[in-house]
Amino acid sequence: MVENPVWADYRYLFDESYRSILMEFMAWDVLRVQPYSMEFINGEAKWKFHDFIPIINHWSRLFEYPWSMMKADFKKDDVVLDAGGANALIQYYAALRCKEVINLDLSEHYLKLANDIRLRNYFRNITLQQGNLESILYPDGWFDKVLCISVLEHSENPEKILYEMLRVLKLGGRLIVTMDISDGKYDNFCIDEERAREIVQKFGMYYPPQTDQTLIYNVRMAKGGEDRGFIKTSVLCFCIDKR
């Protein structure tokens, strides 16, 4: 059983803890890139600069990362699943506050980069695993917290991923989900709003009115080289407690 979700709304942007967490993420942006700076300057880097997308330059991460961490309420003994974590900053923030973080992702490229960052910054409690979120190879009730940040919009079967994440979440644990949604125009980086509504309602939850969503933003999108102009997008953020 899951409780009705807590949805993000605009008011949290005025919370002092939001600004504090955002500043920490911005500091981590600098810290994770800094060891690679001379490699980029000398043309010796094995990674591309766009692999390190600063949070300040990403329209949804600027809002969803701090909100997610505000709601995570990490405890020092927590075992956390970062579902689809790739090389994103969430895993490092969580690792400083938890017992262990498992970053489960399909991308070999980004897991290699995440491992490089992990080693250079001496994180010993982050485990990187390549795997499919539609079939998570952990027993029921294994994790205290499960984070799924801007992942479902890239999946062909988001319902299956949600079921799997709830399965491996402990009773009393918390699942935190964000996804970028669009106003109905297809794009590889967003999920259609009607599809998002369908997913949420399948889990017995109401879908919030537009005014409750974190952000409405116009983003220039293109697919296959064709200019699709401006489409209205939002980032939908919610957390669920398993009871």
**Which of 3.40.50.2300, 1.10.1060.10, 3.40.50.300, 3.40.50.150 would CATH assign to domain 6-241?**
3.40.50.150
Handedness of CA 190, 115, 74, 162 (dihedral sign): positive
Closest C-alpha among 110, 148, 146, 152 to residue 128: 110
pLDDT at residue 21, as a whole number: 93
Distance of CA 69 to the CA centre of its chain: 10
Lowest mean pLDDT among 140-149, 173-182, 201-210: 201-210
**pLDDT per residue over 38-89, tens digit each?**
776 677 777 776 677 777 777 788 888 999 999 999 999 999 999 999 989 9
Backbone angles phi, psi at 223, to 5 degrees: -135, 125
pLDDT at residue 188, as a whole number: 65
Average model confidence (pLDDT) across the chain: 83
Closest C-alpha among 146, 139, 68, 132 to residue 104: 132
pLDDT at 126 > cutoff 80 = yes
H or E element that contains 236 = strand 226-241
pLDDT at 224 > cutoff 50 = no
Provide the token pair at 125: 């409690």
**pLDDT per residue over 163-184, tens digit each?**
999 999 999 999 999 988 877 6
Helices 16-33 and 61-72: crossing angle in degrees, nearest 10, is 110
Backbone angles phi, psi at 147, to 5 degrees: -115, 130
pTM: 0.89
pLDDT at residue 209, as a whole number: 66
DSSP three-state, residue 89: coil
pLDDT at 223 > cutoff 50 = no
User: Cα separation of 152 and 150, whole Å?
Assistant: 6
pLDDT at residue 167, as a whole number: 96
* CB neighbours of residue 154 within 10 Å: 15
